[in-house]
Amino acid sequence: MSRRVAVLMGGWSSERDVSLVSGRECAKALIARGYDAYTIDVTRDLTALAAALTPRPDVVFNALHGRGGEDGTVQGVLELLQIPYTHSGVLASAVAMDKPTAKAVFAAAGLPLVEGRVVTRAQLAAGDPIARPFVVKPTNEGSSVGVRIVREKDNSWGEEARSWAFELSLVERFIPGRELTVAVMGNRALGVCEIRAHGTFYDYTAKYAAGGSEHLVPAPIHLRAYEEALDIGLRAHQALGCRGVSRSDLRYDDTAGEPGHLYLLEINTQPGMTPTSLVPDLARHVGIDFESLVEWIVENAACDS
């Protein structure tokens, strides 16, 4: 008999639409590989989720992104139900989703980070918390939701700061240079990709709209920097105790020449699995097609307790 796999998708976060695409693509791949896969559009209704998971599937493929699905919440439900699920467990998911907490863990592991501080909405409205240029981002959102780069002569920022949507934000020094990402699969760093956004930076649209960005795999950077980026991605994955696949985002400052300086920005424990997503691109680079990647993720599902 084929294994029964429930694919969780949708959710209620700002990344709902992306999750729906990820879920459909992964379910399609699993069916093609002979699994009895079906999708569940997750809401805040816990009773409905429990009913959709009855009869009990063999595995849950967690294709949720953002809050509720990536922050340890749904992982806790699945632990309670004792259903093996894909990607990271409760603790790693919760820590990774909270950027300041993740940075504290990364700092303890000796990973290279950008200087920054957490500020309230009122502190942002009162004036620049650090010297420009800087980046403002919500402490617990993904997919570049709410990210704002404030540059030297940005006259619109003052008014925008007074109506900022997020109570807590992480403010970091802006690092010039290039956008890199590293995919990790189990205990293996698959490769480094350079992302060249066709807009001002790698925002939500650049991530998910067709033609929003260009993915260069392998990243055309100095070999020493490439190997260091692989090491940073793997160490970040291990520092948080992630499992399955993860994706670490980095900045590479090569403005003074190569090899430049690398800075770890954050880690994603539920990377996108859409046609324009980065982890499938990096997997293909090392000979792992999309169906094989999805199957590996399912076969490595687990419960922490």
Please, what is the angle between helix 223-240 and helix 99-108, to 10°? 110
**Strand 178-185, strand 245-253: pairing:** antiparallel
pLDDT at 145: 75
Strand, coil or helix: 135: strand
Q: Of the residues 62, 88, 246, 268, which is catalytic?
A: 268
**Residue 47 CB neighbour total at 10 angstroms:** 7
**Strand 36-42, strand 4-10: pairing:** parallel
Q: Of the residues 25, 179, 266, 295, which is catalytic?
A: 266
Q: How long is the chain? A: 305
Q: Of the residues 35, 202, 208, 252, which is catalytic?
A: 208
Q: Pick from 217, 209, 216: which is nearest to 276 by CA? A: 209
For the chain (305 residues), the mean pLDDT of every run of 10, in chain order, is: 91 94 97 97 96 97 95 96 97 96 98 96 94 94 80 92 93 97 97 86 50 88 98 98 97 97 97 91 96 97 87
**Residue 197 CB neighbour total at 10 angstroms:** 16
Q: Per-residue pLDDT tens for 120-168? A: 999 999 999 999 999 999 998 765 778 999 999 999 999 999 999 999 9
Q: Is 272 a catalytic residue?
A: yes
Q: Of the residues 249, 251, 252, 295, which is catalytic?
A: 249
Return d(Cα 195, Cα 198) in angstroms, integer. Answer: 10
CB 133 within 8 A of CB 151: yes
Q: Is 15 a catalytic residue?
A: yes
Q: Which amino acid belongs to residue 238? A: Q
Return d(Cα 283, Cα 219) in angstroms, integer. Answer: 14
The predicted model scores a pTM of: 0.92
Q: Is 266 a catalytic residue?
A: yes
Q: Pick from 114, 102, 111: which is nearest to 241 by CA? A: 102
Q: Is 268 a catalytic residue?
A: yes
Return d(Cα 150, Cα 166) in angstroms, integer. Answer: 16
Share of the chain above pLDDT 70, in %: 94
Q: Of the residues 10, 11, 13, 15, which is catalytic?
A: 15
Q: Is 247 a catalytic residue?
A: yes
To which residue do tokens 């033609």 refer?
A: 211
Q: Per-residue pLDDT tens for 65-85? A: 999 999 999 999 999 999 999
Tokens of 12: 């209620």
Instruction: Provide the CA 16 distance to its chain's centre, in angstroms.
Output: 14
